[in-house]
Amino acid sequence: MAQQVYKADQIKRQVLASLRKFGERVVSDLERGRFPRIEIPARTTSNIVYDEKLRQYVLGDKRIERTAKNIRHLRPFAQLLWIATFAKQLIQRGKTSTLRDTYYVAIGEGIDFEDQSESDEMIMQLESILDFPREDFHIFPEERASIFGDLVIEYSIPGFRGRRIDLSAHPDGFAIGPALTTAEFVRCGAEQVFVIEKGAVFSRFVEEGADKKYKAILIHTAGQSPRNCRKIIRRLHDELGLPVYVFTDADPWGVHIASVLVHGSALSAHIREINVPDAIWAGVWPSDIRRYKLPSMKLSDRDIKRIQEL
């Protein structure tokens, strides 16, 4: 019987090939007696542009060069190579990590990172060099969203490979971690996806049977949607053709959460296709407050500051 090949397996192969290419380039430079150098897409604000075709924020053409010839580049270059090595080990051993955990491991191995923001930066550089989001080299968000609805998935991770679960079996929702993120969708009775910011609203939707009444998969983002959750939403849209509706609070924070789901964020402009340009912000709109004479609360100074930042 042939071993089933999952999408996650293909991605794994591609990421490993990409890591190998990066490593070979450094080795080849060294073997020829040259200082290793690499070009990395610049992730500065001025290099973030909106791509009309992809309908998301992406990086422009500006690139930065990192070369071992420059003594000031040596340290970040070495840090980057350590991160690449760590990523390869995670994939090969079937283990996962987080931004924070990666920093801890680095400290444990005596790698010289000033603080976590330095190792985070290297992880993001590796993302843009490999052109894969860090979840694909097994660095996952610490935060967990959850999912509930008429969808059967099949796991691809070691120990659970080939096993299936029906995501309508637990009404509090299934946490979206490494196993769910890399699972295949095998059967879906739902016709749309409701993405919900607040736990109270998610529970209310479950209690009202919104999953059955509207044939909807319910996703609880628990605030800002973690990146692997955004990827799952994108996959539900792309692979199953499901329309996506976003229910957030009618405040600047809710608007931002919805906007990241639709357009992507500046922080992940170097990552493609974890947003859903066709997603529809379906929660109460501020204009609905007047239209339907809804009760409302005054915007705080903090809210107003947040609006100006959007």
Binding residues for a second copy, total number by CB under 8 A: 49
Closest approach of Cβ 221 to a second copy, in Å?
11
Task: Rule CB under 8 A: say whether 299 interacts with a second copy.
Answer: no
* Residue 95 lies near a second copy (rule: CB under 8 A): yes
Q: Are 173 and 218 in contact (CB under 8 A)?
A: yes
CB under 8 A: which stretch of 66-74, 177-185, 251-259, 262-270 binds a second copy? 177-185
Does 222 contact a second copy by CB under 8 A?
yes
- Segment interacting with a second copy (CB under 8 A) among 9-17, 99-107, 126-134, 229-237: 99-107
- State yes or no: residue 169 binds a second copy (CB under 8 A): yes
Cα–Cα distance measured from residue 9 to residue 25, given in angstroms and rounded to the nearest whole number: 24
The least CB distance from residue 188 to a second copy, in Å, is 17
Q: Can residue 292 be called a binding residue for a second copy (CB under 8 A)? A: no
Q: Could you give the CA distance from residue 213 to residue 53 in angstroms, rounded to a whole number? A: 35
Binding mask 13-32 for a second copy (x = CB under 8 A): --------------------
Q: 63 - beta bridge partners?
A: 41
**Residue 235: CB minimum distance to a second copy, A:** 16
Q: Choose the stretch contacting a second copy; rule: CB under 8 A; options: 57-65, 79-87, 124-132, 205-213.
A: 205-213
Half-sphere exposure of 133 (CA within 13 A, CB side): 21
* Residue with token string 């609203």: 201
Which residues, in sequence order, are bridge partners of residue 178? none
**84, 99, 71: which is closest to 129 by C-alpha?**
84
| Contact with a second copy (CB under 8 A) among 142, 292, 308, 309 | 142
- Residue nearer to a second copy on the CB measure, 140 or 247: 140
Specify the length of the chain in residues: 310
Catalytic residue among 6, 50, 104, 214: 104
CB 72 within 8 A of CB 66: no
With contact defined as beta carbons under 8 Å apart, do 137 and 228 qualify?
Answer: no
Question: Would you count residue 187 as binding a second copy (CB under 8 A)?
Answer: no
Minimum Å gap between C-beta 110 and a second copy is 7
Measured between alpha carbons, how far is 224 from 208 in angstroms, rounded to an integer? 24
The dihedrals phi and psi of 28, each to the nearest 5 degrees, come to -65, -40
* Alpha carbons 208 and 148: distance in angstroms, whole number: 13
Burial annotation 19-44 (CB, 10 A radius, 16+ → b, else e) = beebeeebeebeeeeeebbbebbbbe
Minimum Å gap between C-beta 249 and a second copy is 9
Asked about 214 being catalytic, the answer comes back as no
Residue among 271, 207, 232, 222 at smallest CA distance from 8? 232
Determine, following the binding rule CB under 8 A, whether residue 157 of this chain makes contact with a second copy: yes
Please select the residue that binds a second copy; options are 6, 174, 194, 205, rule is CB under 8 A. Answer: 174
Residue 39 CA to residue 19 CA, distance in Å, equals 15
Using CB under 8 A, which of 177, 189, 277, 286 touches a second copy? 177
Find the shortest distance in angstroms from Cβ 46 to a second copy.
33
234 binds a second copy (CB under 8 A): no
Cα angle 110, 114, 117; round to 5: 115
Catalytic (active-site) positions: 104
Q: What are the residues binding a second copy (CB under 8 A)? A: 94-98, 100-101, 107-108, 110, 140-144, 146, 155, 157-160, 163, 165, 169-180, 198-201, 203-204, 206-207, 209, 220, 222, 294-295, 297
